[in-house]
Structure 1
Amino acid sequence: MATIEECRSALERLSDNMATAEGDVREAAALDRSVSCHIKDLDVTFLGRLVGGRIEVRDTVQGPPPKKAEIRLAMTGDDLLAMVGGELAFAKAWGSGRVKLQASLIDLMRLTKLL
């Protein structure tokens, strides 16, 4: 099972990958939105902001998100590590229900470019 530190590190790697992306991916990552990522097996949530093409993790709280972020993710720590490590495709994980993504319809359409 992934640790909280490994999950935070994976979110930082994801942020780095997004910041260096080009074209449609860079455009999709350019949103300015609140973000939460609930790691279900650790029952911890990373709270932050997607801004300037990066995910800035600003806080870590125990349990589910205390308030509704504009972009909400939920998954296990192992799935987060596998996705960031390239071993699990986000589209496959999302389609199978292993990863939950909730956002406005417009944001979902933009975010699909990241998939």
Structure 2
Amino acid sequence: MATIEECRSALDKLSDTMQRAQGDVREAAALDRSVSCHITDLDVTFAGRLTGGRIRVDDTLEGPPPERAQIRLAMSGDDLVALVDGELHFARAWGSGRVKLEASLVDLFRLRKLL
């Protein structure tokens, strides 16, 4: 089972990858939205903001997110690490229910370029 530190490191790695993106991916990452990532097996939520093409984690909270972020993710820590490392395909994980993504329809259309 991935630790809180490994999950935080995975989010930092994802943020770095998004910052270096080009073209459509960079455009999709340029959203300015609140973000939460609930790590279900650890019952921890990373809350922050997607801004300037990066994910900025502002807080690590126990339990599910107390406020409804504009973009909400939920998954196990191992799945987060596997997604960021390229070992787990997002669409398959989302389709099977291993990863949950909630956002407005407009944001989902833009985010699909990241996936």
TM range (shorter): over 0.9
List runs of 5+ in structure 2 lacking aligned partners: none
Is 1:36 the counterpart of 2:50? The answer is no
1:91 Cα deviation (Å)? 1.0
Which portions of structure 1, spanning 4 or more consecutive aligned residues, are displaced by more than 2 angstroms? none
Alignment match, 2:59: 59
Alignment match, 1:106: 106
Structure 1 length-normalised TM: 0.99
List runs of 5+ in structure 1 lacking aligned partners: none
**1:52-92 deviation per Cα after TM superposition (whole angstroms, max 9, x unaligned):** 00000000000000000000000000000000001001111
Alignment match, 1:46: 46
* Cα distance in structure 2, aligned partners of 1:94 and 1:33: 21
CA RMSD of aligned residues (A): 0.3
Is 1:72 the counterpart of 2:72? The answer is yes
Number of matched residues? 115
- Counterpart residue identity of residue 51, structure 2: V
SS in 1 for 2:113: helix
Structure 2 length-normalised TM: 0.99
1:28 Cα deviation (Å)? 0.3
Alignment match, 1:13: 13
